[in-house]
Amino acid sequence: MNATKKLHDLGQSIWLDNITRDLLNNGTLARYINELSVTGLTSNPTIFNLAFKNSGTYDEPIRQKVMAGLTGEDLFFDLALEDLTRAADLFRPTFDRTNGVDGWVSLEVSPLLAHNTASTIAAAKALHAKGGRPNLFIKIPGTKEGLPAIEETIFAGVPVNVTLLFSADQYVAAAEAYLRGIERRIAAGLNPEVGSVASVFVSRWDGAVAGKVPAELANHLGIAMGERIYKAYHNMMASSRWQRINNEGAHGQRLLWASTGTKDPKASDILYIKALASPFTVNTMPENTLNAFGDHGEVGDVMATDGVAGEKTLAAFTKAGIDIDALATKLQDDGAESFVKSWVELMTGIDAKTEAARKAA
């Protein structure tokens, strides 16, 4: 039994943090499903930007959409949904077999809306309706302005992948936004089962303090923060509010580990996969990390739920001069800015391809 199958059998879902039309066309995604126990995938503006820049596969579809009058964001979301609905159909057997717990794909609203609550809600509803797949998550950042959008979108029955979470406080705020949406559905006599995951970014913590802490602390901050958040996740699931929505039929929001590719070339390429093994969670892996784990991965002990080891490590970082709360805020702000940058590059590239298609017509 390979390591990915062992990890899946432990109770953690393995998702691919990538989507390209080539992965779909050449059967690679289907192979990952069959051979590496992949049961879902995630996307973001950076992933699509790289896909469009690095493959000519999109040139003809773009030309056809330009001829049909599409441009800019409308053209992009058409292309993205074509890819994601094909992927959703590949994962649909998993979605059906697990009663909607697993088998999801994710599409992000425009990062330009990260601080605009009303526009985020409208975009999330429109994109999910356009996708026409029950196993399509709409990604909304867990920023201050994103939290009310998450609540309203959940209340509207639209599945949400809450993204750009870094700390336990940010996770709890996102989980409570989900809870409020579900509780309102229950009060309104609506079906409380609306899918959701809370995506916690891990490796960016270590990148942010690289070279700023003693060598023995290198590549330990992300995992320690993960341990703190995992305890908060278990506390949330054990709460009376969570148990009440479970009793009404809601599966509950799952915790998702994101940004789990190792950034430090001196560290193990499966560092975060092994350390974050934990039941009833998701690990969405970059493609090279997925293949590395499939090749030489190993599954050790599952994460402890008490968070004790993580708190000891976090205390060492505080002693070393790291303001963890301030860094969590900075990481979320920087993450939002990074997605905006990728979005602008993506739109610029699409505009260039649009102009080229018009000239060739």
Q: Is 139 a catalytic residue?
A: yes
The structure tokens listed for 340 are 């905006």
The distance in angstroms from the start CA to the end CA of the chain is 53
Distance CA 101, CA 114 (A): 27
Long-range contacts of the stretch 296-302 (C-beta < 8 A, 24+): 296/3, 296/270, 297/2, 297/3, 297/4, 297/7, 297/270, 297/273, 298/3, 298/270, 298/274, 299/3, 299/6, 299/7, 299/10, 299/274, 300/274, 301/277, 302/10, 302/277, 302/278
Question: CA of 214: how far to CAs of 14, 70, 202, in Å?
Answer: 33, 53, 19
Instruction: Give phi and psi for 45, each to the nearest 5.
Output: -60, -35
Active-site pick, 139, 212, 353, 359? 139
User: Could you give the CA distance from residue 166 to residue 83 in angstroms, rounded to a whole number?
Assistant: 28
Alpha-carbon distances, residue 68 vs 56, 62, 71, 357 (angstroms): 20, 10, 9, 11
Pairwise CA distance, residues 290 & 98, whole Å: 22
Vertex 157 angle, CA 106 and 19, to 5°: 10
What are 106's strand-pairing partners? 137
Residues 300-338: b if buried by 16+ CB within 10 A, e if exposed = eeebebebeebeebbebbeeeebebeebbeebbeebbeb
Query: In a 3-state reduction of DSSP, which class is residue 339?
Result: helix
- What DSSP assignment string belongs to 45-72? HHHHHHHHHH-GGGHHHHHHHHHTT--H
Report which residue type is found at 47.
I
Task: Catalogue the active-site residues.
Answer: 139
